[in-house]
Amino acid sequence: MKVSVIGAGNVGATCAMRLLESGLCDVVLLDILESLAKGKAEDLMDAASLIGHGNSAIGTSDYRDIVSSEIVVVTAGFARKPGMTREELLTKNASIIKDVAKNIAKHADNPIIIVVTNPLDVMTYAVHKESGLDSKRVFGMAGLLDSSRMNLVISRTLQKPLRDADSLVLGTHGETMAPALSQSKISGKPLTDCASQEMLDDIVKKTKSRGAEIVSYLGKGSAFYAPSAGVFRMVRAIIDDTAEILPCSCFMQGEYGIKDVYLGVPAKIGSEGVKEIVELPLTEDERQFLKTASDSVHKQLQLL
């Protein structure tokens, strides 16, 4: 298998490292700064005999090198700075993403594209439209990241082992994300039965602000270890054709009463991309949160 990663920044390079060291695939690391991509790819290859994998990595700025890629991961673009919302990134990253999408369509033959660039849901829509690929083959990585963050918040709040937390975050990858408390569990029990309303409200608040919290700590750039892990999980589901249900940004065509936007929802992921969007029995409040998230994305699409 061959996976191309567009963007050799922290997320892209760490994603390339996870994919290589897992033994899943060969990797092309592409960046407008060719020397950056080559330097990181060569550094990754220097580690190959130490880790013990037989995969290859190349760094490049030439889109012709992504030919025959079954999967393309898009991480290119500007990262958030402290105090900057994901929405403020829109105008900065839109032109970059449109150019990336056109080049992917030109040089890769009907690949599956995973978008990571923020604002995630809008950028995924842009890649879908500019690439001309079926929406089932273009989706975004965010729900896995936000759900993983919520797992940590639950674990710390309830002082339970992290492995016992099982949560689900829907909606946007931004201020209108929708943690689904009704679908979240701790130690196999419904979260709503194990925490007070005050605790639940605190869990939701901390989950929503988790990304900004990490940005504030870093001072420059944004999270990359956890986002790259989310990408890895999705790539593995595609390569192994697991059909496992993962939260990701999918094109909505009436599911949950929402149409014509990309939004974070649970979906079965396999070798052809999104096999099916899974509709869960959400509460009325959670459905309203999804509608609010959808309205937010529609407004950003108008700006796009």
146-164 pLDDT per residue, tens:
999 999 999 999 999 999 9
Residues found in the chain: 304
Quote the pLDDT of residue 78.
Answer: 85
Catalytic residue among 53, 107, 128, 173: 173
Region 40-58: mean pLDDT is 97
Quote the pLDDT of residue 86.
Answer: 60
Say how far apart CA 231 and CA 270 lie, in whole Å: 14
DSSP 272: T
Q: Where are the alpha helices (DSSP H) in 220-304?
A: 225-239, 284-303
Question: Where does the pLDDT of residue 91 fall: very low under 50, low under 70, confident under 90, or very high at 90 and above?
Answer: confident
266-300 pLDDT per residue, tens:
999 999 999 999 999 999 999 999 999 999 999 99
The residue ranking higher by pLDDT, 83 or 28, is 28
Task: Please say if the pLDDT value at position 80 is more than 70.
Answer: no
Task: Please say if the pLDDT value at position 175 is more than 70.
Answer: yes
Determine how β-strand 177-179 pairs with β-strand 244-253: unpaired
Structure-token pair, residue 227: 């986002």
The residue ranking higher by pLDDT, 80 or 67, is 67
103-128 pLDDT per residue, tens:
999 999 999 999 999 999 999 999 99
Report the range of poorest mean pLDDT among 34-38, 86-90, 200-204.
86-90
298 is catalytic: no
250-259 pLDDT per residue, tens:
999 999 999 9
SS3 sequence of 77-128: CCCCCCCCCCHHHHHHHHHHHHHHHHHHHHHCCCCEEEECCCCHHHHHHHHH
Domains of the chain, each with CATH number or no CATH: 2-140 (3.40.50.720)
Quote the pLDDT of residue 89.
Answer: 77
Quote the pLDDT of residue 79.
Answer: 74
Q: What residues have CB less than 8 Å from 62, skipping those under 6 apart?
A: 30, 34
Residue 243: how many CA atoms within 13 Å on its side-chain side? 2
Long-range contacts of 296-301 (CB under 8 A, 24+ apart): 296/172, 296/174, 296/175, 296/176, 297/121, 297/122, 297/125, 297/172, 297/261, 297/262, 297/263, 298/260, 298/261, 300/87, 300/90, 300/119, 300/121, 300/122, 301/122, 301/125, 301/261
This prediction has a pTM of 0.95
